[in-house]
Amino acid sequence: MNSIAPINRILKSGFVDGPGNRGVVFVQGCNFDCPYCHNPETISLCDDCGVCVSVCPAGALSVCDGRVAWKQEICSLCDACIKRCSKNSSPRARRMRPSQVLDVLADTLVYIRGITVSGGECTLYPEFLRALGAEVRARGRTFLLDSNGSYDFAADSALLEVVDGVMLDIKASAREHPAVSGRAAPHVLDRAAFLAERGKLPEVRTVVSPGLFDAAVAVEEVCRRLAKAASPPRYKLIRYRPIGVRRAAAARLREPDEAHMRALAEICDAFGIQSVIA
């Protein structure tokens, strides 16, 4: 049993990761490699190479026994270290137990609606999620996950029991998924359909960038599969924007225009799926 996970950062409250005011926990590590990732510093685990240490203007980083150490109390959060890291990592990630995460959120738990675990890909740490979810629910708060759909929720009833909902990213059609994420993921729609049948799929999301993949094919594939589910999700169609993206791979990405996004929303309309353009 390993209920410890590497945590990139914890946001005490926010309104963009699920309904209501929520605490957000960003895990470190992802099994996909999308060029438009807005949290690229969460993709890889730090290998303690030490390259970022010398760029820290606050002296908050050092190498101790071959490991990079971070002094949170003097860090100015300037992000010079993560801009220097060429491996999509961060020296500020910490291995934490669910109880330590809840300690950080203790003063806001009284008024937030719940906690969302994002990343990175949170389902890389299912034991941590099961333990954290049980604690969050025991405190009368909701527990949501942001996931890339690679995890087999059907095989983890214990996790499903403590999760109120999963907001699932669908990167592209099954055929084009490897070109977008760097990994074949033929079961993402199966995962989504499984959750939708159980009322645990409040939202699916697709980031749209013309030329990266055929978004119309992807959106139609998703709508066709999920429209008849017991609880069809809302479809969030997200315009690619180059904000916060630091990866060289993002240089080839384009922003979609309004007509492109409207056409995708009309596909959702045709299947009776509620959509929102973000």
Q: Which residues bind ligand SF4 (CB under 6 A)?
A: 46-52, 55-56, 58, 60-61, 68, 70, 75-81, 85, 87, 89-91
Cβ-based nearer residue to ligand SF4, 77 or 270? 77
Count the helix, strand and coil residues of the chain and give each as a percent rounded to the nearest 5: 35, 20, 45
Is there a contact between 234 and 203 (Cβ–Cβ < 8 Å)? Answer: yes
Cβ-based nearer residue to ligand SF4, 77 or 263? 77
Backbone dihedral angles phi then psi of residue 74, each to the nearest 5 degrees: -115, 0
Cβ-based nearer residue to ligand SF4, 58 or 179? 58
Tokens of 2: 């390993």
Q: Shortest distance, CB of residue 53 to ligand SF4, whole angstroms?
A: 7
| Euclidean distance between CA atoms 188 and 65, whole angstroms | 41
Q: Does the CA dihedral 90-92-95-100 come out positive or negative?
A: negative
Q: Shortest distance, CB of residue 74 to ligand SF4, whole angstroms?
A: 7
Q: Shortest distance, CB of residue 11 to ligand SF4, whole angstroms?
A: 16
Is there a contact between 264 and 208 (Cβ–Cβ < 8 Å)? Answer: yes
Q: Shortest distance, CB of residue 113 to ligand SF4, whole angstroms?
A: 30
CA dist 221 to 107, 117, 184, 217, Å?
43, 27, 16, 6
Q: Shortest distance, CB of residue 61 to ligand SF4, whole angstroms?
A: 5
Q: Shortest distance, CB of residue 161 to ligand SF4, whole angstroms?
A: 35
Residues 6+ apart with CB under 8 A from 188: 148, 149, 150, 168, 170, 171, 174, 177
Cβ-based nearer residue to ligand SF4, 24 or 82? 82
Residue with tokens 């033929």: 186
Cβ-based nearer residue to ligand SF4, 60 or 222? 60
Residues 6+ apart with CB under 8 A from 160: 153, 198, 200
Cβ-based nearer residue to ligand SF4, 91 or 114? 91
| CB atoms near residue 104 (< 10 Å) | 16
Cβ-based nearer residue to ligand SF4, 86 or 99? 86
Q: Shortest distance, CB of residue 7 to ligand SF4, whole angstroms?
A: 14
The DSSP call for residue 268 is H
Tokens of 148: 């890339």
Cβ-based nearer residue to ligand SF4, 61 or 238? 61
Q: Shortest distance, CB of residue 75 to ligand SF4, whole angstroms?
A: 3
